[in-house]
Structure 1
Amino acid sequence: MAASATKQSMLMLASLLVLIGVTTGSFYDSFDITWGAGRANIFETGQLLTCTLDKISGSGFQSKKEYLFGKIDMKIKLVAGNSAGTVTAYYLSSKGEKWDEIDFEFLGNVTGQPYVLHTNVFTGGIGNREMQFYLWFDPTADFHTYTVLWNPLNIIFLVDGIPIRVFKNNEANGVAYPKNQPMKIYSSLWEADDWATQGGRVKIDWTNAPFSASYKSFNDVDCCSRTSIWDWVTCNANSNSWMWTTLNANQLGQLKWVQDDYMIYNYCTDFKRFPQGLPTECNHN
């Protein structure tokens, strides 16, 4: 009987720990809803966040912390149906005129046509490093994980753990790299039908409003972060292997597959845009 009671107690404790694990790191703890007048909301005891867009306003949120390097995961389910003219933005950004930024932007489309995943990297307020992709799945049918791995060596964009883009630190070749300005995480759902879908040719259909995007399973465990300028979370390079991660051979193969089969725009091959020569980093990939 004693052994049975002990086993039952252990099972109850395990169940309690699972429950605690599920409810920690909630959106309540990690983010502030910053705009939208009630159009962004947190549900399921902090485990689900939704942003909505209607004819009056979109909505958005930002992280309580700032980050200087990290591996950051978010599961997102995008606007379903006719999402033309909508943009779901998910990015890191610093402040000021010479800000740094790392962008995921999801450009909606008419029903049955693929979303465009738009990526960009800004350093010192200068971007112009767009790469765009179609996805190999329907991003509106379920949640998928979108990851930024940002360290002193490179910025890696991943989708469900598969690398789609790498921006390397090319400071040795005179290319600025984001490494000094802490960034917050931002996300928003907003109207951009002047450019988002087929260059603005397809406008938003408000009869489908409100539009909604959903977020869950945020993870910033592998990060250097702060809640104030005095309150850094220490980053031990020996224990945080993400700090020195680059792509291994298998990941390089995955990257090639995505870029060969799903990339639809690469600024590093746009000779018309850069008639005087491609940006320096394009020759040092």
Structure 2
Amino acid sequence: MYSPAILFLLSSAFISASMANFGTDVDVTWGGQRAVVTNNGQQLSLSLDRSSGAGFQSKQEFLFGKFDMKIKLVHGNSAGTVTAYYLSSQGALHDEIDMEFLGNLSGQPYTLHTNVYTQGKGNKEQQFHLWFDPTADFHTYTILWNPQQIMWYVDGTPIRVYRNHESSGVAYPSKQAMRMYSSLWDAEDWATQGGRVKTDWTQAPFTASFSNVDINGCVWSGSGSSCGPSSSSWMNQVLVASDQQKLAWVQKNYMTYNYCSDAQRFPQGLPPECSLA
């Protein structure tokens, strides 16, 4: 069920929209010529060298939506680099939904790092290894964010679900509009094996490529009413039985870290959402 506050926002401040062009629908926010748009706006590449990385953001802000993008990650020795794809609002008390791809030594798997921030607080990490080479070709990465839950997908396979437990006192990102962001940057102090493996700058420039951006969401505009609770299929989407099986398969075979299993990190007790269905 939607809270009265969410229903008010949906009926008074949002309109449905779809965006699918890097040339017209995103802004390069840093890195200058290290961000290159090609193929009539259907593809964008980011490069990282010793001087700088690069990043871009959606022109529009959204409160709830389905965000799809194909990404081909840095090939070869990408240790120390992070390719980020996430949603975020602004300010110290921001909300954020993360997918970050942590680089690796050649032949070792990337780590896909996921997290959720509400009111500036995160500490809800789950990490995964991918079951394919994400540098050989483009793969589709999806963040689906609706009032009931957040779901992360890889090539249509769900890997994580974070449910709305506001009724039990657990904060959920439901009140701040967020932009979509992507970036390629140097995080050698922590990205690869906890920072033990540093960036090899003789391999620079590092390049990640992005394609087929597709956002269907509720645009923050201050007016409009076309994005109500039943306006889009993703607004009420949940995992069906077959998706639950896929989720269990991924988490059994490819999850490498789950904050809800880290009792040592939370000596006063695991976060409350860890025990909620």
Superposition TM-score, scaled by structure 2 size: 0.91
What's the CA shift for 1:142? Answer: 0.4
Q: Does 1:250 align with 2:242?
A: yes
1:148 matches 2:153: no
One-letter amino acid matched to 2:166? E
Match of 2:7 in 1: none
Equivalent residue runs for 1:202-213 within 5 Å: 202-213=197-208
Corresponding residue SS for 2:33: coil
State the distance in 2 between where 1:148 and 1:216 align.
15
Equivalent in the alignment of 1:70:
65
Give the conservation status (yes or no) of the 8 Å contact 2:230–2:236. Answer: no
Instruction: Find the counterpart in structure 1 of residue 218 from structure 2.
Output: 224
* SS class of match (1:243): helix
1:106 corresponds to 2:101: yes
Distance 1:232 1:214 in 2: 35
1:278 corresponds to 2:273: no
Q: CA deviation at 1:233?
A: 7.1
Alpha-carbon offset, residue 173 of structure 1? 1.2
User: What CA distance in whole angstroms lies between the structure 2 residues aligned with 1:232 and 1:213?
Assistant: 37
What is residue 135 of structure 1 aligned with on the other side?
130
| Structure 2 residue runs without a partner (length 5+) | 1-18
Partners of 2:224 and 2:101 lie apart in 1 by 31
User: Aligned-pair distance for 1:172?
Assistant: 1.5
Deviation at 1:231, TM superposition (A): 5.2
2:170 to 175, 188, 195: 175
Structure number with greater Rg is 1
- Corresponding residue pairs, total: 259
Distance 1:85 1:154 in 2: 32
The one-letter code of the counterpart of 1:116 is T
Which residue pairs with 2:8 in the alignment?
A: none
Quote the Cα distance in structure 1 between the aligned partners of 2:225 and 2:135.
35
Residue of structure 1 in register with 2:158 after alignment: 163
TM-score for the superposition, normalised by structure 1: 0.89
Distance 1:206 1:123 in 2: 35
The structure-2 alpha-carbon separation of the partners of 1:232 and 1:83, relative to structure 1 and needing over 3 Å to count, comes to: farther
Structure with the greater relative contact order (CA < 8 A, sep ≥ 6): 1 or 2? 2
Instruction: Return the alpha-carbon distance in structure 1 between the equivalents of residues 223 and 37 of structure 2.
Output: 26
The structural deviation recorded for 1:81 is 0.2
Aligned twin of 1:260? 252
